């Protein structure tokens, strides 16, 4: 918008100057009728010039006074030192032992999982484990066991990160597993809530697709 006004502002100023010169030229030639017409056009151009000048000034002032949106601060998570000699199991235990809330522990395990260098063999191992834990109904049996829940969340997140946005039965199944585990860990849902049951029905459909020949 401001660019358009600036263009009109400059153009009207240029046209006003031309009409003024033509008016002076016609006065010199003693052609008063044409000179008066040129002065009228000059006046109109000057009015447009002034209005655009005011509008540009107002817009510029508003833009200067409007603060830029500050970047949303990321939630602080506990710093977890990494080392080639430390396994993901050790990390899970370390995070579970922190004197933090379940939500803070969830944020920390996800931050670690985002950078975890998984292998294809691990992905398959994690998939088989998650399917087995779901089928034996163990995955939400002990909601007080944070180490177990964080371990499951870690595995599910790593799998979903590996497949990305692929819409496949295994990716859908693992995502439901992840959602239920993190909602129960953080106390958002009880293990038998309607939301959990709904997710499990979707997981059952995905599992059927996984196991179909």
Q: pTM surpassing 0.75?
A: no
Q: What is the pLDDT of residue 67?
A: 34
pLDDT tens digits, one per residue of 153-170: 999 999 999 999 999 999
Q: Residue ranges per domain, the chain? A: 2-65, 88-211
Task: List, for the chain, all residue ranges whose pLDDT scores fall below the cut of 50.
Answer: 5, 9, 60-78
The pLDDT value given to residue 46: 72
The reported pLDDT for the residue numbered 85 is 78
pLDDT in tens, 78-99: 455 555 678 999 999 999 999 9
Predicted confidence at residue 41, as pLDDT, reads 60
DSSP string, the chain: -HHHHHHHHHHHHHHHHHHHHHHHHHHHTT-HHHHHHHHHHHHHHHHHHHHHHHHHHHHHHHHHHSPPPPPPPPPP-------TT--HHHHHHHHHTSSS-HHHHHHHHHHHHHT----HHHHHHHHHHHHHHHHTT-TTT-TT-HHHHHHHHHHHHHHHHHHTT---HHHHHHHHHHHHHHHHHTTSS-TTSHHHHHHHHHHHHHHHHHH--
pLDDT of residue 212: 87
């Amino acid at each position: 918008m401001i660019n358009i006004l600036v263009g009109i502002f400059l153009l009207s100023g240029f046209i006003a100057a031309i009409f003024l010169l033509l008016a002076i030229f016609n006065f010199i030639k003693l052609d008063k009728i044409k000179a008066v017409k040129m002065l009228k056009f000059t006046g109109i151009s000057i009015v447009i010039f002034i209005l655009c000048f005011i509008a540009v000034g107002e817009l510029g002032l508003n833009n200067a006074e409007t603060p830029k949106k500050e970047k949303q601060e990321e939630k602080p998570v506990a710093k977890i030192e990494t080392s080639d000699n430390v396994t993901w199991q050790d990390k899970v235990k370390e995070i579970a032992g922190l004197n933090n809330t379940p939500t803070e522990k969830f944020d920390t395990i996800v931050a670690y999982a985002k950078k975890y260098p998984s292998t294809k063999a691990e992905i398959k191992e994690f998939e088989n484990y998650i399917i087995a834990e779901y089928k034996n109904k163990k995955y939400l049996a002990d909601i007080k066991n944070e180490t177990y829940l964080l371990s499951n969340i870690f595995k599910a997140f790593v799998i979903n990160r590996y497949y990305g946005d692929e819409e496949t039965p295994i990716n859908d199944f693992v995502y439901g597993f992840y959602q239920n585990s993190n909602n129960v860990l953080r106390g958002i849902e009880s293990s038998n809530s309607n939301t959990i049951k709904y997710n499990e029905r979707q997981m059952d459909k995905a599992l059927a697709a996984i196991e179909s020949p």
